[in-house]
Amino acid sequence: MVIEMTKKKKKKKRVRKIGFYDEKKRYEWSDYFIATSCPHVKYVTVVLPEPILEKIKKLINSFSTEWLGYLSFEKEENEDEIVFRCTDLLIPEQEVTYADVNVKDSSLGVGKGAIHCHPWKHATSHSKTDEDYVDINHPFSIVVSKDLEFSVKAVVDLPCGSRMLVEGEVEVEHPSNPELDKWFNQIKSKIKEKKYTLPYKGGSYTLPNPYYSGPYDWGSIYGRLRE
């Protein structure tokens, strides 16, 4: 009996890639590989104007389930930072539960940022499902909790040609109020913090407010009092 020794075929290693929704197809993988680290990655900030924040608050207070929306935006980029300045919040048709969202037609989200709610309080985090089905399919993806805690991840192009999923910051943009600033500048000098002076050999030392619980250089203070 002859036994033929055959080499086992090696399984091809699946390489995870990042892509976006395509306007012609529902979804199309890109040829960009996901990088896990890079010293040249840019810092990411997503700016939410106050009117959009109010819409988010209304959704959070009105639904006890998850929900998902898309954020149109204007992109600003320099050598160190990428800023996504949101301009509107769009809501697609969806079926939701406490644990998931099923969007009926995701074409509304093509080329837009995403935001979805985790309907519990305290810190937010992106689940594995979020990363695989939401985060990598949009320029940026925000998770918001019931108590308005934000967490954002964004897809960033790297100089090497790869892409990287990075964490960023969410900033709320409050409209400026020139009249308020003018009023404050007129009255701020009328509010003065009381100082407490303690004598010591050779002079006196002004102590900080005793009701203030912030950090003090007590070693320096006591050193001077012992002089």
**What pLDDT sits at residue 11?**
45
Total of domains in the chain: 2
101 and 48 part of one domain: yes
**What pLDDT sits at residue 192?**
80
What span, in angstroms and rounded, lies between the C-alpha atoms of 138 and 136?
Answer: 6
DSSP-assigned letters across all residues of 139-175 = SEEEEEETT--EEEEEEEE-TTS-EEEEEEEEEEEPP
**What pLDDT sits at residue 92?**
94
| Pairing mode, strands 28-35 and 43-49 | unpaired
**What pLDDT sits at residue 60?**
94
Query: Which residues of the chain register pLDDT less than 50?
Result: 1-31, 212, 225
At 78, which CATH number? 3.40.140.10
123 and 214 part of one domain: no
Query: Is the pTM higher than 0.85?
Result: no
Report the length, in residues, of the chain: 227
